[in-house]
Amino acid sequence: MGLRLLTLCAAVLAATAVLPPAAQADVGDEIVVMRDGGLTRGERVHAGVSAERDLPVADAEVVSTGGDRAAAIAALRADPDVEWAEPNQPRRLAGEPLAACSGA
C-alpha cells in the first residue's frame, strides 16, 4: 500500500504541475477518489458526482459535484470498496518533491 500511495502522490503532483494556475485554483467541487476497479456509473449517481478525469494510477480518478461536496465525500466513503475519497486541493512543493506524500 505504501508504494501505491507514493505512486498516487507522484501522479497527483505531476497532474497538478502541468495545469495552468487558473485551472489549479478551480478545484472547489472536485474529489480525488480511489476505489478497487474504479467507480461504476451507479456509484457516481448515488454519490451525486460525475467523472472529470482519470489519474495515471490504477483505480484513482477525479470526480466533481455541482452540489454538496461534503455529502458526496460521505457517500463515497460509505462505499466499502472505496479506499479513500478526499477533496482535491492544489498542492505546492517546498523542499524535496513528495516529502508530504512520503511522510518524510
Q: Which of 54, 39, 57 is nearest to 3 (CA)?
A: 57
SS3 of residue 81 by DSSP? coil
Please give the Cα distance from 101 to 8 (Å, whole number): 9
Q: What is the pLDDT of residue 12?
A: 55
| Per-residue pLDDT tens over the stretch 62-87 | 999 988 999 999 999 999 999 999 99
Overall average pLDDT of the 27-42 stretch: 87
Domain that holds residue 16: 2-102
Strand order in the sheet with 60-64: 50-54, 60-64, 30-35, 82-87
Question: Which CATH number is 11's domain given?
Answer: 3.30.70.80
- Indicate the number of domains in the chain: 1
Q: Say whether pTM exceeds 0.75.
A: no
Percent of the chain with pLDDT over 70: 61
Does the pLDDT at position 23 exceed 50? no
Contacting residues for 22 by C-beta, under 8 A, at least 6 apart: none
